[in-house]
Amino acid sequence: MKILVANLGSTSFKYRLFDLGDPGEPMLARGAVDRIGGPSSKVVYASSKGKTEADRAVPDHGEAVRLCLEQLTNPATGVIGSASEVSAIGFKAVHAKGISGVQRVDARLLSAMEAFNDVTPAHNPPYVRAMRMLAERFPEMPLVAAFETGFHATIPDRNRRYAVPNEWATEHGVLRWGFHGASHRFIAERTALLLNRPDLRLISCHLGGSSSLCAIRDGKSVATSMGMSPQSGLLQNNRVGDFDPFALPAVMRATGMRFEEALAILANRSGLLGICGKNDLRDVEAAAETGEADAQLALDMYVSSIRHYLGAYLVELGDTDAIVFTAGIGENSPRIRSMVCRDLERLGILLNDELNEAGHGERKISAADSKVEVWVMPTNEEIIVARQARDLLSARS
């Protein structure tokens, strides 16, 4: 079974094609279309047969998918004979009102996603537009949404509920839903395989432009840092993270700002960007090296937010077996890993500085006498989505 996994942005379409009929689950091809809707889009494709890059006008996501299928079936560089060999398109969907898990895309699901457009403003609107367009243009192609919230359905109510009136939770879905589910699920499965332990207690640290921590026991999520929306938890590249909502009226009175304007600032001009004017951690680290005080403050605040949740989850799990750093920052920033783990020897966490600074890819970076193993592990959200789409289709066949 061949599954095409789509990762959508408002003006981008990235994809990977997996062959899940092969025991090795190989990725057959990958590609991307950027600047969709602009005068010229960058179209990239790569497979074992070669790589192509071109600039051409791509007006919408439907055309991007058509180009994708054209690339995959090209006699020179393609990897399938016809588009009919693709069993489904799987989407790493984010959030929907009253719906989670893995679902076929239909009118009911799209309406549920639209109901939470204001909860996930950077994610749901482009996904809904693209899914609706693809359903109309390719009605014979099954579309499957694998929601990031699904992995966190096992979180107990004591960690899932807010202290708000019961009807807010039961009728309006005001809960700690959690996100980055595909990444945390992959880390849970991969770590259990590497350590040959299905009963692991581990903390998955997905650190990137968007960051979250997850406490995992026996392969299941029991707590996570993001809540009702991806705006909460750790501070992000340009999102606020945890924030007292009662601060908003004070700011609005003082500035004359409208509620929607204030929310837009919290969602797009806060986080690292709001603190030091830079939203890429590599730039923040470089500026801190030159002595820029705001950049150092941004680093310190980011690390403090990570350690806040790390400490909470060490207590939640009790006896932690492993801490795993993943995603762009988690995999590539020795400085952040070192700052997060500093002075934690008495908690059984001790890095090997040489291992932390050197090497690439999947590896253990804890010291030999560290009670808690510390790993760097590239995540693979797309293979999780592909497997979930396959399992849904197989169950319904």
**Binding annotation:** 7, 14, 280-282, 328-332, 381
CA distance 93 to 149: 9
**Residues annotated in the binding site for ATP, as ranges?**
14, 280-282, 328-332
How far apart, in whole angstroms, are the C-alpha atoms of residue 200 and residue 192?
7
Strands, E, within the chain: which ranges?
Answer: 2-9, 12-19, 27-34, 41-47, 50-56, 86-91, 102-104, 143-146, 201-206, 212-217, 220-224, 322-326, 363-364, 373-376
Tell me which residue of 104, 147, 143, 101 sits closest to 123, measured CA to CA.
Answer: 147
How far apart, in Å, are the Cα atoms of 360 and each of 139, 273, 356, 377? 43, 28, 10, 9
Q: How far apart are CA 379 and CA 185, in angstroms?
A: 9
Sheet arrangement for strand 27-34: 50-56, 41-47, 27-34, 12-19, 2-9, 86-91, 143-146, 102-104
Token output for 267: 């969602």
Radius of gyration of the chain (CA): 22
Q: How many CB atoms lie within 10 A of CB 116?
A: 22
Question: Which residues have a Cβ under 8 Å from the Cβ of 141 and sit 6 or more positions away?
Answer: 83, 86, 88, 89, 134
Binding-site residues for Mg(2+) sit at: 7, 381
- Kindly compute the dihedral angle of the four CA atoms of residues 28, 143, 205, 169, in this order, to the nearest 10 degrees: -170
Contact 149, 181 (CB under 8 A): yes
Tokens encoding 190: 């991969």
The number of residues in the chain equals 397
DSSP for 139-194, written as a single string:
TTS-EEEE-GGGGGGGS-HHHHB-SS-HHHHHHH--B-----HHHHHHHHHHHHHH
